[in-house]
Amino acid sequence: MINVLPQLEKKGLKHEYNLRLATVCLCNLAFLSLLASLLLLPSYMLSSTKEVYLGEQLATLNKENPEVSLVDLNTFIVKINNTLALFNTNIVQRKISQDVIYPALDARTSNLKINQILFAEHGEIGAELDLHGVAQDRESLQAFKLALEETGKYQSVDVPISSFVKKNDIDFTITLLMK
């Protein structure tokens, strides 16, 4: 193929191509921006309508209750938030180590099944560990209680008398107080 265009015209054609490409890209970008604006319009209208409605509701509430001041309302909100903060804390004050749970799990026999382990911190009183499960018979439950007491890791081991009423398949709850 023979190159018949002079160098100056080649540069001119390349420049014109780049201008056309930039124009097409900018037109597409403008079209997409317009489309995005049109799609956001219903959300904006809904939000502005809700803002007006809530403003009217607040004005009505203020007219009906002139005795409620903004300061009282803010202190009430702070008080509620502080109360709710008690429920939202995920901070564990005491880490449950192997020394707490493993002695209880090691003391169980094959005739005993532990379904649930609950740990509760009681501030200055200490902590307690509740074991919920099913024992095959009274003897295995009594043996488990004695094995827990012999570990020496717990201050007290409490098994309710009602756990010993049934002969077989006994649902039990054992409360272990930590030392």
Q: Region 3-28: what's the mean pLDDT?
A: 93
So what's the pLDDT on residue 96?
64
Using DSSP's 3-state secondary structure scheme, residue 26 falls into helix
Look at residues 47, 66, 85 and tell me which one is the last residue of a structural domain. Answer: 66
Using only C-alpha atoms, the chain has a radius of gyration, in whole angstroms, of 37
**Helix %, strand %, coil % for the chain, to 5?**
60, 20, 20
Q: Which of 174, 99, 102 is nearest to 140 (CA)?
A: 174
User: Could you tell me if 62 and 104 lie in one domain?
Assistant: no
**43: enclosing H helix or E strand:** helix 7-64
Residue 122 placed within a domain: yes
Using DSSP's 3-state secondary structure scheme, residue 94 falls into coil
So what's the pLDDT on residue 50?
96
Please name the amino acid found at residue 94.
Answer: R
Please, which residues bridge with residue 141 across strands?
none
> Could you give the CA distance from residue 78 to residue 72 in angstroms, rounded to a whole number?
10
User: Could you tell me if 45 and 111 lie in one domain?
Assistant: no
Task: Please give the residue range of the domain that contains residue 13.
Answer: 7-66
pTM (2 decimals)? 0.46
Q: Region 126-148: what's the mean pLDDT?
A: 87
Main-chain phi, psi angles of 124, to 5 degrees: -75, -20
Look at residues 66, 88, 106 and tell me which one is the last residue of a structural domain. Answer: 66
Residue 127 sits in a domain of what CATH number?
3.30.1360.100
Number of domains in the chain: 2
